[in-house]
């Protein structure tokens, strides 16, 4: 029987696997391309000088009026751009940000002459975010003191100074759709101006990740010309031959990471692969969560592989409010309420479920094209 540490290591290996599929690579490249616009290194340490306390600072921290976004200090010399990574839940947006943080050149260094070096500053945007709330979170994240009274020039000088001291190269904002969700037209306009203010005044590019609502910021007047790229991460389509193969590639790499060898057979059993696609709705993140839960059940049971019953239990753990299925390990069962379990229904019922969602039966192209496997080294590495 495996120890808890051994089980933990196997699960961690699966959940931290970096699969550089095309959408993932496009998102990474867009973020790293922001470096091309970053200015030369600014002075750090005592010579940089602390932020001045602006006694005559009368620019209120208010972005609700037109024109304020153009009055940021620095004369535009530090103007930067942003990138937006958008997509539904489970498509791997946060995983892209994590992979950037994990790059060797983005690691935190505590041995600097003037203190910590933090190339990346990352935080989750609060729900229904407004500029004051967001800037307080950024200040706390970089260790800057939060003044009793926030002013635009004071915030700009403090953040610019702190980013210089930390040698910060990138600000990453996850859950950035909160800048749009429930904001209304006035809130959206104010948040767009605030983000432009950060780009103008702090000299650090911004990578934002969030659900599809985030796209509305790109079309706002403030950010229309400051968005370097918008990359969409979306679920794979089974009806597209190339995307079906790509999904099978990803499933095969996750299968390898589970460590069961040929006993798993998830990507070569096309009926089971269809059920996994249906359960995950083609999203890599949701697929990984289901397989991770099933792997934990298999390892705790001392099993040599994953069966449909384990996948069913994992599916219900990830969908607790939508699936109610009678507990019978020996037969395919019909649900007693909620959504049908794609791993337990028989083939005829599954085809009906598939047709109800996708309007046509699943197409098996595996005999025509086979499965392409990306090199394992590329799947496991983080260097770009």
User: Cα 292 from chain centroid?
Assistant: 18
39: left (phi over 0), alpha (psi -120 to 50) or beta: beta
- For the chain, which domains are there? 4-16+238-380 (no CATH), 38-232 (3.40.50.300)
Cβ atoms within 10 A of the Cβ of 170, count? 24
Instruction: Name the more confident of 6 and 120.
Output: 120
pTM of the model: 0.78
pLDDT reported for residue 39:
58
pLDDT in tens, 121-171: 999 998 988 899 999 999 999 888 888 888 888 888 888 888 988 889 999
pLDDT in tens, 38-83: 655 555 555 555 555 444 456 778 787 655 444 444 444 457 899 9
Owner of token pair 């994590």: 98
pLDDT reported for residue 264:
63
Owner of token pair 């095309």: 22
Owner of token pair 């940021």: 72
User: Which phi and psi (to 5°) does residue 172 adopt?
Assistant: -115, 125
Q: Any idea what DSSP says for residue 42? A: P
Structure tokens at 193: 């101006």
pLDDT in tens, 216-252: 998 888 898 899 999 999 999 999 999 999 999 999 9
Contact between 235 and 92 (Cβ < 8 Å): no
């Amino acid at each position: 029987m495996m120890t808890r540490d051994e089980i933990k290591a196997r699960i961690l290996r699966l959940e931290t696997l970096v699969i550089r599929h095309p959408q993932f690579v496009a998102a990474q490249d867009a973020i790293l391309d922001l470096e091309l616009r970053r200015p030369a290194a600014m002075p750090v340490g005592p010579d940089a000088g602390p932020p001045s306390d602006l006694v005559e600072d009368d620019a209120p921290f208010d972005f609700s009026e037109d024109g304020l976004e153009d009055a940021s200090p620095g004369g535009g010399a530090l103007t930067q751009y942003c990138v937006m990574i958008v997509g539904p839940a489970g498509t791997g947006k946060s995983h892209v940000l994590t992979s950037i943080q994990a790059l060797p050149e983005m690691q935190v260094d505590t041995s600097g002459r003037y203190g910590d070096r933090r190339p990346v500053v990352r935080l989750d945007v609060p729900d229904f975010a407004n500029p004051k709330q967001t800037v307080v979170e950024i200040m706390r994240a970089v260790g800057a003191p939060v003044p009793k009274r926030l002013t635009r020039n004071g915030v700009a000088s403090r953040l610019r100074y702190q980013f210089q001291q930390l040698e910060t190269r990138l600000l990453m904002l996850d859950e950035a759709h909160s800048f749009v969700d429930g904001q209304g037209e006035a809130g959206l306009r104010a948040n767009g101006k605030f983000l432009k203010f950060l780009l103008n005044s702090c000299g650090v590019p911004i990578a934002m990740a969030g659900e599809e609502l985030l796209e509305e910021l790109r079309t706002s007047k403030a950010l229309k010309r400051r968005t370097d790229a918008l990359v969409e991460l979306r679920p794979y389509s089974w009806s597209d031959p190339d995307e079906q193969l790509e999904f099978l590639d990803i499933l095969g790499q996750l299968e390898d990471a589970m460590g069961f060898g040929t006993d798993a057979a998830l990507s070569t059993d096309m009926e089971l692969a269809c059920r996994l696609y249906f359960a995950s709705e083609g999203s890599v993140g949701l697929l990984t969560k289901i397989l991770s839960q099933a792997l934990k059940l298999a390892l705790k049971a001392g099993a040599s592989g994953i069966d449909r019953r384990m996948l069913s239990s994992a599916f219900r753990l990830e969908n607790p409010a939508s699936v109610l299925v009678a507990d019978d390990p020996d037969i395919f069962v019909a649900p007693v309420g909620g959504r049908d379990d794609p791993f337990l229904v028989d083939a005829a019922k599954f085809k009906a479920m598939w047709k109800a969602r996708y309007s046509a039966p699943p197409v098996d192209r595996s005999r025509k094209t086979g499965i392409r496997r990306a090199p394992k080294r590329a799947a496991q590495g983080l260097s770009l």
